[in-house]
Amino acid sequence: MMMDTSRIKDTEQSPDSNSSNHTAGYVALVGRPNVGKSTLLNALIGEKLTAVTHKPQTTRFVVRGIIHGDGYQIILEDTPGFLEARKTIDQSMMKLVRRTVRNADILVLVIPPFETTRSESMETAGKLQSKAPVIVAVNKIDLVPKDTLLPLIASISEIPGVKDVVPISAKFNDGLQDLLRTTAGYLPSSGPLYPPDLITDQPERFFAAEIIREQLLMQYQEEIPYSSAVTIEEFRNSDHGKDFIRALLWVERESQRRILIGHHGRSLKRLGTLARKQMELLFGRPVYLELWVKVRHRWRDNMQDLKTLGFDENA
């Protein structure tokens, strides 16, 4: 699907300030890893803005998408999944989640549809520590018999702070309009916060890095993807030729660098080809992608390295 790049970010535009009969606000998608938050954001926006893989910790940053409805505007924020902070990078991500939750107007807690979910949901809801209304989206309902959903929904509805429970399947686009209507009902009165043709306020270089990292997760096994980070060193737009993007791939050990590059550079070339094709689909124009691999020892446990690589908790 080709994206009009003017819909990614245009700082020259300003939204209509008329707030009469209009609502708008920030809605944080929160939950454990692999519950389908990123799939849900992509489905609601109608574009693939955020990486989706079967591996946990696919989302490291907050990814924002903007929904323009009839009389409302929802700014969705896909957050990293709640996890035990074993490394400094985990602590940084959890601080990012807490800050996003603290600033949100509405929280959508995404959970799987299993009987064990109630206790997990109570634990997760307790971590939110927010006065914002909480809507629970029971995702992946295609995986369970329908007669098990009603008692589960009733049970979750009793959790303190939960305002509504909406069963959905983000993968099969089931129940998403119900979720939108429910969420819109809790938005504060406000004029549009963004222009009507914008679907995200994040720049193209952010999505370029995320596309490369998604391919890292998909093409490499075990520790390689989690020991890797991506930064965009150069991004030049071209009106007539190809956009030029130079990206740096950071790993923690020289052995990981050799694995990532592969024999005669074949693995890195394959990664670059797949990432470039995804960028061209998203940006709607040809891209020349140049990849370099560098070693930064133990960067996941070094706060200064994390800030250098874009994991600044105060950003």
- How many residues belong to the chain? 315
Query: What pLDDT digit, counting tens, does each position of 195-222 carry?
Result: 999 999 999 999 999 999 999 999 998 7
Q: Which residues of the chain have pLDDT under 50?
A: 1-3, 10-14, 314-315
What ranges make up the beta strands (E) of 31-171?
A: 63-69, 72-78, 106-111, 134-138, 162-167
Query: What pLDDT digit, counting tens, does each position of 230-243 carry?
Result: 999 999 998 778 99
Phi-psi region of 166 (alpha: psi -120 to 50; beta: other; left: phi over 0): beta
CA distance linking residue 279 with residue 36, whole number of Å: 23
Q: Give the per-residue pLDDT at 255.
A: 96
Q: Give the per-residue pLDDT at 204.
A: 95
Going from the N-terminus, what domains does the chain have, and what CATH number goes with each? 5-184 (3.40.50.300), 204-308 (3.30.300.20)
CA distance linking residue 16 with residue 9, whole number of Å: 16
Task: For helices 117-128 and 149-157, give the axis angle rounded to 10 degrees.
Answer: 30
